[in-house]
Structures are given as C-alpha cells and as structure tokens.
Chain A
Amino acid sequence: MLDLLKRPVASFQDFIILSGRAMRNIVRTPHYGDDILIQMDAIGVGSLLIVMLVGLFSGLIMGQQMARALRTYGATGQIGYIVSVALIRELGPVLVALLVAGRNASGIASELGSMKVTEQIDAMRALGTDPIQKLVTPRLIATAVTLPLLTIIADFLGLVGGFLIARFQFAVPFSQYWTPAWQNLAYQDVAEGLLKPFVFAIIVALVGCFYGMRTTGGTEGVGRSTTKAVVVSSIWIFVTTYFLGKIFVNLQ
C-alpha cells in the first residue's frame, strides 16, 4: 500500500520543487524578456480567436437555455443577471482555462518533452543556462498574464452573446439586459472571476512544464507527457474551481 503511494507522492514533491524554483526565478536575474514576449504571443494572441468564439457561443447557449426557463416565470428580464454571474464567476474562467490547457499545456509539454529527449535541455544546462529560468519561468509569467486577459475578453463576448439572444429572440430591450447584468455584479464576483484564471494559469503552465521536463522514452514518451499534461491540468482546474468557489461563497 505504501509503495503504491510512493510514486505519486514523489512526483508531487518534484512538482512542488519545480514550482518553487520557477517562482523564485521570477525575482532572480537573469530575466529572459524576449522569451516572455514570445510566449505571450503564442499563448495569448494564439488563443485569442478560439477563446472569442467559445466566449460568444457559451453566451449564446446560456442565453437560449436560461431564457426558456425564465420565460415560464415571465422573468426574461433577469437573463442578463444570470448570464453575467454564471459567466464571470464560473464558466468564463473554467472554459477558457480548459481551452488553454488543451492548447498550451499540451504545446508546452510536447515542446519541452522533445527538447528533453533530444538532449537539448542537457545542452542548455551544459552551456551555462538554467532551463527553468529560460523555459519554465517565461511560460509561467506569460500564461499568468494572458489567461486573465483572455478570460475578460471571453466574459465580455459571452455577455454580448446572451444579449443577442435576449434582444432578438425574446425582445428584451438593451438596458433591461445590461443594467441587471452590470449592477448585480459585486466586487467579489469580479475578484473571483479574475483570481480563478490567475490560479488556473499557474496550474496550466507548471503542469505542462513539469510533464515536459520529466519526459523519458523518446517520441512515444513525448506523446505520453502531452496527454498527461492536458488530463492532469484539466482535473486540477475543476478541483480548484470548486474549492475557490467554496471559499468565495463562504466569504459572502
């Protein structure tokens, strides 16, 4: 029984060590500014279109389903409120984080994994650079900056999507949608909606880097690491969103 637990505990310990070193490097020289910008472009700009599409469509879908239910109570005017709270507090951050996990945790894991199996990570160390400083920290910073921004964009487009349904399918006037959508948002909702993507970003970047950096076993190993990175980061996103949500509910 203890032996069974040994491996996951050991990997978790390795993960914590890697995370610690990656975070410590944020305040340490040297800084690889150009790598941070390149990663921001790959993760942020690269995910922009798909995040916009998903944001818009999640708003359209929610608007459609919620309005049907609300209509039975004659409360279609509340559609803006429901869409905004659900999107900003929960759905926006989770959907965007899952997308970025699928797109970038996998990308990071396969890129770093290929570098690992072709000895490029060893070459980096041998040439006097710290692979964590050069590879992991820039990806961590880039994801932590871009994921909240992507979430804001997705949330906004989701609200627009909800509005389109409310306006054109259920004839809800402009202000009747946007006023409750805006006024019922507490600071706490916004704080929750921005804290979550920040935490998810750390999970996505570090899990991707972690599985990439410990890849063994050639190209097959790279495939395994990529899959693991996506699966594990997705699971952690769901687990943390539950607990973060719980904390915020208790705060109210």
Chain B
Amino acid sequence: MSDGSIFLRFDDVSVRFGETTALDHVSFEIAGGESRIVYGIAGSGKTTLLKAALGLVKVDSGRIYVFGQDVTDLEESAWFEIRARMGILFQEGGLFDSMTIAENVAYPLVNSVVYRSSGKRPDDHDVEAKVQETLRFVDLEQTLEKFPSELSGGMRRRVGIARAVVTEPPLVLYDSPTAGLDPITANTIVNLILKERDLRNAAAILVTHRFQDGHLMAKFRYNPSSGQIDAAPAKDTSVKTKFFVMNEGRLVFEGTLAELKLSQDPYVSKFAK
C-alpha cells in the first residue's frame, strides 16, 4: 500500500469527539505537486481533517498514510520524523507569543527533534540566513525582532506561512489562512501560498470558506520572472487543483473547479460563487 508519489492518503477515516462525529468515513489522496482546496462551513470537520493528517487527533477508524507510511497507530515519538516533512499554518497563526518573529520562524530549524537529535542542526549563521530569506519571501524582513502581538492579523498569518515553509517541507497544510482578513490582505496571503507552491512544487491542502481562494489557486500561477501572479493559460494542467466540500464531517463533493461550478447540490453550490 505504499506508493511514494502519494503524499497523503485517507482511507475511510472517522474521528469522533464524544457524541459528535468530526470526520465521517473520509477517503482521499493527494500526490506531490497537487493542490486540494477544502471548502465547508464552520464545524464541518475541515480543521479536524488537517489535525488528523498531522497526528494531532487520534482517528477512531480507517487508516491514514503519510508519504506512503501507515501512520494510524504511530507512537507520538515516531511522528516527529514525519511532521518534520510537513508544514502547517494554524487558523490563528499559532505563533509562540513569547518569542520574537525571528525565533518563531527559526523554531522548526532550531528545536525540532529531528534536527536536534541527528546532528543535522544547522549552525546559528545558517539559521539566521534561512530565517531572513524566508521572511523576505513573505515580505516581512523588517519585523525580525518584533513580537507577534506587535503585528497585524495579516502579518501574523504571513509569519505563520514563513514558519510553515522554512524547512521546505514537501507537503504544506493551510488552515483557513484568509479567515477574518480583509479581501486585499486575503489575496496577498493566497498569492504567497501560490508562490510557495509554484516555486517549490510542494503539495498543498488549503482549508477555506472563501471561494476566491480556491479560484486563485486553480486559475493563477506565480511568474518567477516578473514576480507577479498571472492567469494560467487555459490549457495549463501543470498544477492539479481539486476541490473538496465538507459537510458535517463528510466529504460531500470532490472534483475540479468546472465541476464545482456545475454542481446542482444546494450546499455545494454555495461555495461556487
């Protein structure tokens, strides 16, 4: 059951919290270089989906495979190796509020079990350079010594992206990166996610309830020569973006943007405009 090109696979996964079912028999897979946009109203199980993929919540039934490895019953200590290859942006950023921006972004490089135990820990100079480079990527290099509380919501989200991608993970999960932001800032965030995806060809799962986010991800490309986001040529299939819609823990729709727009289902079609 291990296919190296499949980065993440859910096989009939269910997660329950007491009486409520957060994930109800969910199955899907995502390969390298692909994107998945997950739509759904609040409480439909989107965040639980990401947390299950990271091993932060235990599944009740079904199996999860990450990078071809069955991780369903993995011990916490065995997860660190796998999590080191995944990036995550938390809904509220999840930044460490007692650390500076530079320390936050450097955190995975300096502290993760994998880097610390294996002697792979980069020296301070390399860490600093990498943090600078990553913060330049999200256009925030002037905030190195600030604390998260001194930044605006959109800036914090950008720091969260920087921290998620600083180790250049092949699979990045974004939990509602645009929630609560004004449309202009929200577009900046999605552009960054696009840039990350197209420059490094990483697989991405983007949880959102904004239709525009998915539309941008599917129809636009980062242009490295101009540094701008351009509309993708109509025939460009280099990035495979698929859409999921979730409701009450179930995956009620899976398909392309065109299929999403054509959906007659009253719940699904709400996300197609």
Q: How far is the CB of A145 from chain B (nearest CB, A)?
A: 22
A32 & B111 in contact (Cβ 8 Å cutoff): yes
Q: List, in ascending order, chain B residues with CB within 8 A of A119's CB.
A: 90-92, 94
Once the chains are docked, how many angstroms separate the CA of A119 from the CA of B57? Answer: 13
Q: Which residues of A contact B108 (CB under 8 A)?
A: 127-128
Is the pair A123, B113 in contact by a Cβ cutoff of 8 Å?
no
User: How far is it, in angstroms, between the C-alpha of A127 and the C-alpha of B95 when the chains are bound?
Assistant: 11
Q: A-B pairs with CB below 8 Å: how many?
A: 68
CB pair A130–B113 under 8 Å, yes or no, is yes
Determine whether B83 belongs to the interface, using a CB cutoff of 8 Å to chain A.
Answer: yes
A127 and B167 CA atoms in complex are apart in Å by: 10
Give A212 Cβ to nearest chain B Cβ, in Å: 14
Interface membership of B46, Cβ < 8 A: no
| A120 and B96 contacting across the interface, CB-CB below 8 Å | yes
The answer to whether B163 touches A127 (Cβ under 8 A) is yes
Known: A30-B117, A120-B96. A129 touches B90 (CB 8 A): no
Asked, given contacts A130-B77, A130-B80, whether A123 binds B96 with beta carbons under 8 Å apart, the answer is yes
Chain A window 22-42, contacts with chain B (Cβ cutoff 8 Å), 1 for yes, 0 for no: 000000011010000000000
- CA of A143 to CA of B91, assembled, Å: 34
Select from chain A the residue with minimum beta-carbon distance to B81: A128
Instruction: Tell me how far the C-beta of B41 lies from the nearest C-beta in chain A, rounded to whole angstroms.
Output: 21
Are A30 and B113 touching (Cβ within 8 A)?
yes
Which residues of chain B are near A122, meaning CB under 8 Å?
51, 56, 90, 94
Say whether B114 faces chain A, with CB atoms less than 8 Å apart.
yes
A3 to chain B, nearest CB (A): 16
Chain A hits for B95, CB < 8 A: 120, 123
B220 on the interface (CB 8 Å rule)?
Answer: no
B84 at the interface (CB under 8 A from A): yes
Interface size on B, residues (CB 8 A): 29
Query: Within the assembled complex, what's the spacing in Å between the Cα atoms of A128 and B85?
Result: 9
Give chain B residues whose Cβ lies under 8 Å from the Cβ of A1. Answer: none
- B117–A126 contact, CB under 8 A? no
Query: Roughly how many angstroms separate A168 CA and B216 CA in the complex, as a whole number?
Result: 84
Interface residues of A in 93-128 (CB under 8 A from B): 115, 118-120, 122-123, 125-128
Residue of A nearest to B82 (CB): A128
Q: Which B residues lie within 8 Å of A125 (CB)?
A: 54-56, 76, 79, 83
Residues of B near any A CB (own CB < 8 A) = 51, 54-56, 76-77, 79-80, 83-84, 86, 88, 90-92, 94-97, 107-108, 111-117, 163
Could you name 23 residue pairs across A and B whose Cβ atoms are closer than 8 Å? A30-B116, A115-B96, A118-B92, A118-B94, A119-B90, A120-B94, A122-B90, A122-B94, A123-B96, A125-B55, A126-B56, A126-B90, A127-B83, A127-B88, A127-B112, A128-B80, A128-B84, A128-B114, A128-B115, A129-B112, A129-B113, A130-B76, A134-B111
* Additional 11 contacts, C-beta under 8 A, given A125-B79, A126-B90, A127-B83: A29-B117, A30-B117, A119-B94, A122-B51, A123-B95, A123-B96, A125-B55, A126-B54, A126-B86, A127-B107, A133-B113
